[in-house]
Amino acid sequence: MAKKKNSEKTIKSALISVYHKAPAQKLIETLHRQNIKLISTGGTLNFIKGLGIPVTPVEEYTGYPSVFGGRVKTLHPAIFGGILARRGVKKHQEEMEEFSIAPVDMVVVDLYPFEETLASHASHEDIIEKIDIGGISLIRAAAKNYEDVLVVPSVAHFEEALALISLKGSQTALEDRRRFAAAAFDVSSHYDSAIFHYLNKEEEDNGFKCSIPESRPLRYGENPHQEANFYGNLEDMFEQLGGKELSYNNLLDIDAAINLMADLEGPSFAIFKHTNPCGVASKSSLEAAWKAALSGDPVSAFGGILISNRNITRKISYAINELFFEVLIAPGFDEQALDILSQKKKRILLKSKPFEKSESRFRSALNGVLWQTPDEKVVKAGQWKVVTKNHPDEKQVHDLAFANTVVKHLKSNAIALIKNKQVIGTGMGQTSRVDALKQAVLKAKSFKHSLEGAVMASDAFFPFADCVEIAHKEGIKAVIQPGGSVKDQDSIAYCDKNGLVMVFTGIRHFKH
């Protein structure tokens, strides 16, 4: 009968090499109380000595000095042999005895902060020096031999390791070592992925590599019967000042709102439903922008996502407080405004932070992933081509630029009707451009907005002259569109005949 393998292992020695030293203090002290021999090098060695805890320098352990400015310290057979040697394999034990290699039962590592260094816009030389070699090698070696060795692969795992040692002492179970080993390969794969993307940023990548270590479970997906997670660190973008947990649908709407607001200038306010802006305005004051955004479509605003690019004051908070909404995003909130808006406990209030926009957009499709760069083209006033005999006046110039920005953020096919830098009608997600225009006109009329003198924006070209004809009959005086249809001249001719202004941007803004 085969002898049952003992999955319990005793930690007698631990190698510790960490970048963030202070968070490791309690774990180091606990290991010392368990009479575990500590081995270390460099700054970690000095930190442990400063705690008054006995520690063996790696240089003494290997009989070899740290060389090349610290680039080579732990890369030695005495270290890696002690980690990788299998305790239950006779030949490994014989070789350990032959070459005087002692077992290393635990490895605690916290890698050089490569991503943090990258984010700090450090020099290329500094970034390269923050590529950890010894640490990542220790992690992988210890994780590979998890049947004998416990690996603690990052500062994020110190607390869990401390709890384990505090509960079980120097004894570890196989299931614990396997769990930490899986975490170790998660750490190492993410670390390598970040380095790859940095070094490969100017080369074509034929594979899809994306690693995001942070995740948070969501209550459910788009619907209650769907499971969902968010991968990322929302704290980098927002400080949540109150309200319930963000949902899957909240996050989609917030993403859409953030992208639109990044394109607007001056005091602006926007209201979103199902990732589409139903009310948007830019005015001389935030109060005016709020009133105009809400009046654009006060029905759809109910239960919406609100966003401002200015601080929320006490004065405007009274008006906002009268509306039922899910989320309000702003760069800041006056103390009194926060008190007023927090009266309804489920409201989500987000204080936005400066952040770097992602250079990539991913989307699952079929049995793979689609990738594209974000649509960051914003055509400013005067950057377009006037294709009609009449040119836009100053007011129309501002409204056309605003309209083109708004329509970019509507689902295709999309039409935006604008007057005085205020959305007065939108049509989106329609299978024909004519239907999108009819929807926008209907919206405007239902809320008593006058279309006389308004402007129209389209996310793509007009294949026929029917849209400009409909718009003209409703009182619209100026049109902005990408152009590019084989029948562009039909639309231009209609505009010239009826005194309309039309400009071409040359930029399409499909959004699916």
Closest CA relative to residue 70, chosen from 41, 39, 108, 38? 41
Looking at the DSSP bridge assignments, the partners of residue 242 are: 349
> CA–CA separation, 338 vs 78, rounded Å?
60
Find the catalytic residue in 26, 76, 92, 144. 144
Which tokens sit at 280? 């948007």
C-alpha–C-alpha distance, residues 281 and 294, integer Å: 9
The CA distances from residue 219 to 214, 216, 230, 250, in Å, are 17, 10, 11, 11
- DSSP code string of 198-258: HHTTTS--SS-------EEE-S-SSSTTS--EEES-GGGTEEEEESSPPPHHHHHHHHHHH
Identify whether 144 is a catalytic site residue: yes
Task: Compute the distance between CA of residue 339 and CA of residue 317 in angstroms, rounded to an integer.
Answer: 9
Q: Residues for the chain: how many in total?
A: 512
Identify residue 226 by its one-letter amino acid code. Q
Rounded Cα distance, 180 and 157, in Å: 8
Return the beta strands (E) in 243-308 as ranges: 268-273, 276-282, 304-308
CA distance 31 to 354: 41
Q: For the range 376-381, what are the long-range contacts, defined as Cβ-Cβ under 8 Å and sequence gap of 24 or more?
A: 377/408, 377/507, 377/509, 378/263, 378/405, 378/408, 379/404, 379/505, 379/507
- 438 noted as active-site residue: no
Residue of 168, 190, 197, 274 with catalytic role:
274
Give the residue numbers annotated as catalytic, written as ranges.
Answer: 144, 274
